[in-house]
Amino acid sequence: MTNKPKRKGMTLAEVLVVSLVILLVVLSVLNIYLLALRGRQWGEKKASAEEKARLAMEWILRDIRIATDVTVPVEGGSTITIFQPLLDSNGDIIHPVIRDPEPIVYYLSENGRIVRLKGTETRTIAKNIDYLSFSTGGSPDIVEVKITAREGEQLCSLEGKAWARN
């Protein structure tokens, strides 16, 4: 009988196969992680665009609902003039209703910002806006607002309506 030495360790072929399997598993996990990261970034950009559009829409519709008179210069235009009633120190409407001599003007600037102008106060209420339009939709009492906001390549379009007191 011959004494065969006991085999200890792995052959080169076995090491290569195990290394290849580990490499494939690591690459698969990395690919899944990168896909999840891209999906998260996509969702954050979409949510950011939606938040910008909603905030601008809330400002505009609130001012229209309080207004005593609304002027939409051109159907589908990106500018609106809103006349509100004068308010007392508590924020209540003064009766009989007196129109504030300083109207509120909303417009889309050339650099994609929705600007709210009242007297000497100028406020940017949304950035990265691609589209803003105002129309009456055939009824002088209802103002329709359309906003499209962008965050990276993600777009969010919102439409809203408000009844103007007129």
How far, in Å, CA of 16 to CA of 155, rounded?
48
Q: Is the pLDDT of residue 94 over 60?
A: yes
Q: Is the pLDDT of residue 20 over 80?
A: yes
Instruction: Report the pLDDT value the prediction gives residue 99, as an integer from 0 to 100.
Output: 85
Give mean pLDDT, residues 94-123.
91
Q: Is the pLDDT of residue 165 over 80?
A: no
Q: Is the pLDDT of residue 34 over 90?
A: yes
How far, in Å, CA of 55 to CA of 47, rounded?
12
Question: Looking at per-residue confidence, does 53 or 4 come out higher?
Answer: 53
Instruction: Report the pLDDT value the prediction gives residue 1, as an integer from 0 to 100.
Output: 58
**Strands 104-108 and 154-163, sheet pairing:** unpaired
Range name among 4-8, 73-77, 83-87 with the lowest pLDDT average: 4-8
Q: Is the pLDDT of residue 92 over 60?
A: yes
- Model pTM score: 0.73
Candidates 138, 151, 70; CA nearest to 104 is: 70
Instruction: Report the pLDDT value the prediction gives residue 166, as an integer from 0 to 100.
Output: 52
Instruction: Report the pLDDT value the prediction gives residue 77, as an integer from 0 to 100.
Output: 87
Identify the band that residue 2 occupies on the pLDDT scale cut at 50, 70 and 90.
low
Candidates 105, 164, 109; CA nearest to 132 is: 109
Instruction: Report the pLDDT value the prediction gives residue 96, as an integer from 0 to 100.
Output: 83
